[in-house]
Structure 1
Amino acid sequence: MVDENNLVSINIDKSKILSICREEIRELLEDLDNEYVFWDSAELKKRTCMSWNSIQDTFFFDDRFPKYKIGGKWYYPVKETRTFLEKWLSEQIK
């Protein structure tokens, strides 16, 4: 739309812009998660927002928790670990 001063006026649907941004952010986060095949212990602490002691005290020794020790370092497959953590958390709420 052009007014008499030859200036351009733009109307923006704020809710539509927010919806597009949320979808783009969701896709970027999903892509970021798919970049990792496994986490190390530092990434596990970061993803769970838990200290190493808390992880060991709560779920680390659960037989269902997927973990592999290679050399002196622990590795956790991302998809299986995420699935376990979501199930474990839901069990804690009950």
Structure 2
Amino acid sequence: MLSVSVNESEVRDLCNQKIAELIKEVDTEYVFWDTAELKKRTCMSWNTIQDTFFYDPRFVKRKVGSKWYFPAREARAFLEQWLREQAQ
């Protein structure tokens, strides 16, 4: 009979580390997001984005011509902070 013992905490830590690496890798692919990417990253409609955080002065955005662009790192950091604030 074969017995396998798994340290669940260690496995969880390894998984979290790998996920963080993959997220960092994906985030470095883009310098900025457009509205389509912002909607995809937040899983929100454009109307919901505008109604919830778009006009928050902390949310960095630039309009170039008729198109909105959002610096990827700053947008992600803002969104993570904004979400934490929603739980308060």
Shorter-chain TM-score: which interval?
0.7 to 0.9
- Report the Cα distance in structure 1 between the residues aligned to 2:85 and 2:20, rounded to whole angstroms: 26
Q: Which has the larger radius of gyration?
A: 1
**Normalising by structure 2, what TM-score?**
0.77
Q: Which runs of 5+ in 1 are unaligned?
A: 1-11
Is the alpha carbon distance of 1:30 and 1:92 closer, same or farther for their aligned partners in structure 2, counting shifts above 3 Å?
same
Is the alpha carbon distance of 1:26 and 1:92 closer, same or farther for their aligned partners in structure 2, counting shifts above 3 Å?
closer
- Percent identical residues: 59
Is the alpha carbon distance of 1:31 and 1:58 closer, same or farther for their aligned partners in structure 2, counting shifts above 3 Å?
same
Q: Which runs of 5+ in 2 are unaligned?
A: none
How many residues get paired? 83
- Amino acid paired to 2:82: W
Does residue 68 in structure 1 map to residue 62 in structure 2? Answer: yes
Q: Which runs of 4+ in 1 moved over 3 A?
A: 12-15, 21-26
**Normalising by structure 1, what TM-score?**
0.73
